[in-house]
Chains A and B, each alone.
Chain A
Amino acid sequence: MKKFILSLVCMTIASIALAQNAQMPQNISIKALDGSTVQTSAIQNDGKPMIISFWATWCKPCNRELNTIKEVYEEWQEETGVKLVAISIDDARSANRVKPWVDGNGWEYEVYLDPNQDFKRAMNVVNVPHTFVINGKGEIIWQHTSFVEGSEEELLEIVKKAAAETDK
């Protein structure tokens, strides 16, 4: 047990010592809306920032977040080149309802399914909504759990910063 605790301490020190941003995991299998399997390496935006949002059809705050951003998404894209990628964690109970849900809501996002939550585990997501900002180098530079009207403004600030870094 002592060794175990020691190793935890070592790891924590090591991770602090190397406090650089973690890369978004590649080669995790997720599903596209047409049922085909793709790897997370397919999530790309030509060196521009991305927002990755974990959500579910049954999660009201998630839907509020995606519907709120929908209204400003075009402006955000023009301003920063950002792309929002929505990862549904709906399981077999509601996974088939995701595509109609996305179309019915009129979302223009890139949407994938993570029905057995492999990507969710790899990104250490505990509750939904959980939103990440990925910079042009594929690094996770910001994350936040929960959504309340108005907090999209904070998200935009982070995206703008990431976009400015890319342009340098």
Chain B
Amino acid sequence: MKKHITLLALFFASIAGVNAQGIMGGHVTGNIQLDGQISRSDSIIGAQDVPEMLLLNSRADILYTNGNFSAGMRFEAYQNPMLGFNIKYKGAGVANYFAAYNGEKLSVTAGNFYEQFGSGMILRAYEDRYLGLDNSLLGLNVTLRPFDGVTIKALAGKQRYYWEYGDGLVRGIDGEVNFNSIIKSMSDSKLRLTMGAGFVSKYQDDQTIVYPYNPAYKLNLPLNVGAGAVRADLSYGNWGLQAEYAHKGQDPSIMNDYIYREGNALMINATYSQKGLSANIQAKYVDNISFKSVRSESGEMLYINYIPAITKQHTYAFLSMYPYATQTTGEMGLQGDVMYKIKKETLLGGKYGTDIHLNASVITSLDSKRIGGAGTLGYETNGFNPGELYYADASLEVAKKLSSKYKLTCTYGYQIFNPIVEGHPGDLHHNHVVVGDLTWKINKKNVLRFEAEWMGSDSKYSSDVDDKRCGDWIMGLVEYNFTSAWFVSVSDQYAYKDGIGNYYNLSVGYTHGATRFQLGYGKQREGLLCIGGVCRQVPASNGLTFSLTTSF
């Protein structure tokens, strides 16, 4: 890392030097973020003991752009990492650097880069700063756009692993064609069609994994593992259809207990939409598709591909208390959404109209039969037959502007959650959630928001499982905004039956342009938090938290 820093310093010093003299022109932009917490341990909400008292994550992205040329670097410091971040992040230094040329027909990036093929089923190098995820590739990424409507990408690199890089080498190529651009007669057609295909190969040196049925033998591991995918995006007028299929060769790894079964994944999405009415339905089938660049890595890093949950991302606290996470070893599911706007000046629409949003999803395991452990094909599946229920939900949201001052949103949600998706078998949880959310615009500068939530659940807290979300809950939140600059919010979540916990929180924030400072005190659950006009993921904490972000 030290060597890198010196090289980078020289590089940037020279750019900055020349820049200051106005020879090259160009711009320096960037963003800085500081997050800290001063925590007290609390076994009741699961906040751990923090011997160092103050935990601090910070990062700065600096980007230099001059015409089609850009170069950037990122400084990161975790002293020490905040709760929820892997302790391997401990330390400080330059985590990321690159130089790039972005022309009309050619883009080249050398250094750390992010990339995605299709929806990411075989390759997605991405980051999520709030979850501590970064699987950027260090290497070379080339994109060619030889003519309008054709994109070809080729890349090779190693994946970031905290402050190091994983051993596995990732290589990939992807092509995409937009038929409306390349076929002249289709350019104004109602029929829109884009198709693509990609291939990714990873290489990792051999290692010794003992064959469990006869310890005298070791597994004959594939050093190169390939994965390919094809996709299409078709639309005609109000109708749309997107589909992607991926296949992966034999890839024994710790994620699938070193079995030799090949992997498959299929995602299909159909939509209908017109102004004021839309619907979509999405189906997903995933079988042994975990794809990592290092076969012995079981944590959150070194994923080459990305298989998202298709369930709706809820934003209200109780609706998102039991989030569903994709089971890359195998699952299948359906998700549907309907949005409808009741027109203005009708009986139900009133003066401003009413928005209705329905959603439902169901996810199950695959109906499979085990045929062996490590070194075998592992299991057989029974076609598209569903197995055990993993997750199901349904929700109805009605949003209505009552007058120029009041806006009300009411939501009802029902969920069935199988704790096995988080690794511990147990009874299914059945939860009912009701949310009321009222915004009161007192005048141009003063806005109040009230939120009340209730969750009734058949789950009960027990110290064996120690799941702090069990039981029945109520919540209240009041948020006051003075222009877009200041906000204060007070909230409390309380387990009133069969559960434990009382999460009270006081937050204040100040925003000026692209700079924002926020200070919080109290107990906080991990998850998506939307207060003071922005949304972000937050870790579990108990005590004082502060956050500063700025872009320039």
Please report A residues at the B interface, Cβ cutoff 8 Å: 1, 3-4, 6-8, 10-15, 17-18, 20, 22-23, 25-29, 34-37, 39, 41, 56-62, 64, 91-97, 99-106, 115-118, 121-130, 142-151, 153-154
Chain A residues with CB under 8 Å of B104's CB are 27, 39, 41
Given A11-B28, A61-B534, A127-B549, the answer on whether A100 and B514 have CB atoms closer than 8 Å is no
**Which of B10, B17, B276, B516 contacts A146 (CB under 8 A)?**
B516
Chain B residues with CB under 8 Å of A7's CB are 8-13, 16
The contact string, 1 if C-beta is below 8 Å from chain A, for chain B 524-552, is 00001010111110000000000001011
Interface of B is mostly: strand
B20 on the A face (CB < 8 A):
yes
Chain A residues with CB under 8 Å of B233's CB are 34-35
How far, in angstroms, from A16 to B116 measured CA to CA in the complex? 35
Which residue of the partner chain B has the closest CB to A94? B313
How far, in angstroms, from A121 to B59 measured CA to CA in the complex? 14
B426 on the A face (CB < 8 A):
no
User: Are B194 and A34 in contact, with the CB atoms below 8 A?
Assistant: yes
Most central of A23, A126, A127, A153 by chain B CB within 10 Å: A126
User: Are B19 and A22 in contact, with the CB atoms below 8 A?
Assistant: no
How far, in angstroms, from A87 to B129 measured CA to CA in the complex? 19
User: Are B275 and A34 in contact, with the CB atoms below 8 A?
Assistant: no
Given A35-B192, A127-B534, the answer on whether A92 and B65 have CB atoms closer than 8 Å is no
How far, in angstroms, from A154 to B513 measured CA to CA in the complex? 11
Given A104-B278, A149-B441, the answer on whether A96 and B513 have CB atoms closer than 8 Å is no
Instruction: Please give the distance in Å from B200's CB to the nearest CB on chain A.
Output: 15
**Which of B10, B151, B355, B532 contacts A3 (CB under 8 A)?**
B10
User: Are A99 and B277 in contact, with the CB atoms below 8 A?
Assistant: no
Which residue of the partner chain B has the closest CB to A92? B119
Which residue of the partner chain B has the closest CB to A140? B29
Which residue of the partner chain A has the closest CB to B127? A117
For this complex, into which size category does the number of interface residues on chain B fall? 35 or more
The contact string, 1 if C-beta is below 8 Å from chain A, for chain B 285-309, is 0000000000000000000001011
25 contacts between A and B (CB under 8 A): A3-B13, A4-B8, A4-B9, A4-B94, A11-B19, A27-B68, A34-B192, A37-B178, A61-B530, A92-B124, A93-B308, A99-B273, A103-B273, A116-B114, A121-B61, A122-B65, A143-B551, A145-B514, A146-B484, A148-B481, A148-B483, A150-B443, A151-B483, A151-B484, A153-B444
How far, in angstroms, from A153 to B487 measured CA to CA in the complex? 18
User: Are B534 and A37 in contact, with the CB atoms below 8 A?
Assistant: no
Chain A residues with CB under 8 Å of B410's CB are none
**Which of B102, B126, B271, B533 contacts A100 (CB under 8 A)?**
B271
Chain A residues with CB under 8 Å of B64's CB are 11
Given A4-B5, A11-B12, A34-B233, the answer on whether A147 and B308 have CB atoms closer than 8 Å is no
Chain A residues with CB under 8 Å of B408's CB are none
Segment of B213-221, B256-264, B334-342 engaged in the interface with chain A: B334-342
Please report B residues at the A interface, Cβ cutoff 8 Å: 2, 5-6, 8-13, 15-17, 19-20, 22, 25, 27-31, 33, 61-65, 68, 70, 94, 102-104, 107, 114-116, 119-121, 124, 126, 129, 143, 149, 151, 176, 178, 180-181, 192, 194, 233, 235, 240, 242, 269, 271-280, 282, 306, 308-310, 312-315, 337, 339-341, 355, 357, 439, 441, 443-445, 447, 481, 483-484, 487, 511, 513-514, 516, 528, 530, 532-536, 549, 551-552
Chain B residues with CB under 8 Å of A8's CB are 12, 62
Chain A residues with CB under 8 Å of B532's CB are 146, 148
Given A28-B102, A58-B535, A124-B29, the answer on whether A104 and B514 have CB atoms closer than 8 Å is no
**Which of A20, A37, A97, A129 contacts B280 (CB under 8 A)?**
A97
User: Are B513 and A142 in contact, with the CB atoms below 8 A?
Assistant: yes
Chain B residues with CB under 8 Å of A37's CB are 151, 176, 178, 194
User: Are B278 and A59 in contact, with the CB atoms below 8 A?
Assistant: no
Chain A residues with CB under 8 Å of B107's CB are 27, 29
**Which of A27, A143, A146 contacts B103 (CB under 8 A)?**
A27
Chain A residues with CB under 8 Å of B192's CB are 34-36
How far, in angstroms, from A52 to B341 measured CA to CA in the complex? 25
User: Are A127 and B339 in contact, with the CB atoms below 8 A?
Assistant: no
**Which of B13, B15, B194 contacts A35 (CB under 8 A)?**
B194
How far, in angstroms, from A34 to B447 measured CA to CA in the complex? 38
Which residue of the partner chain B has the closest CB to A9? B16
User: Are A36 and B194 in contact, with the CB atoms below 8 A?
Assistant: yes
Chain B residues with CB under 8 Å of A105's CB are 339, 341, 355
Chain A residues with CB under 8 Å of B181's CB are 36
How far, in angstroms, from A122 to B235 measured CA to CA in the complex? 30
